[in-house]
Structure 1
Amino acid sequence: MAVIKKRFQKKKVCRFCVDKIDIDYKDAKLLRQFITERGKIMPRRLTGTCAKHQRNLAAAVKTARIIALVPFTLNK
C-alpha cells in the first residue's frame, strides 16, 4: 500500500480586501488578470478572491464586455 503525502498550500487571500482596491469596470488592465485566455472569468478557488469581491468582479467584467473594454473571446 502506497503512502500518499498531502501537500498543504498556503491559503490564498483576497487581493481586494488586503490592498483595499476598488473594482471598476473601466480598469481593463485589472480585469484581464481575472480572465482566462479563452475569455472566461476565473473561479474563486484559483484567484483567491472572497465571495463579495468575486460577485463584484464578475459584474464588472460583464459590464466591461458589453461596452467593449474587454473582449468576449480572443481573436482566432
Structure 2
Amino acid sequence: MLRTLLLAAALFAFPASALAHSCPAEMAAIDAALETASLSEDDKAKVMELRARGEAEHQAGNHDASMATLGEAKALLGI
C-alpha cells in the first residue's frame, strides 16, 4: 500500500517538475523569434540582454527568476 502511494505521488510530481525547468525551451523560442523579428535595435539589444540574463539565472539554478526574465524577453518579441 505504501509503495503504491509513493509511486502515485512520484508520477504526479514528475510532470510538474518537468515543466518547472523549461528554461532551455524558452531560450530556443527566443532565439528562433529573434531571427525574423522586426524590432528596433534598442529592443533587439534589450531582448538579447534579457535572454543572456535568463540563461545565467538558469545555469545558477534560479529557474523561477530565469522564467520571469525569459518571459520579459518573449513579451518584447510578441511571442
Give the structure-1-normalised TM-score. 0.32
Q: Which has the higher helix share?
A: 2
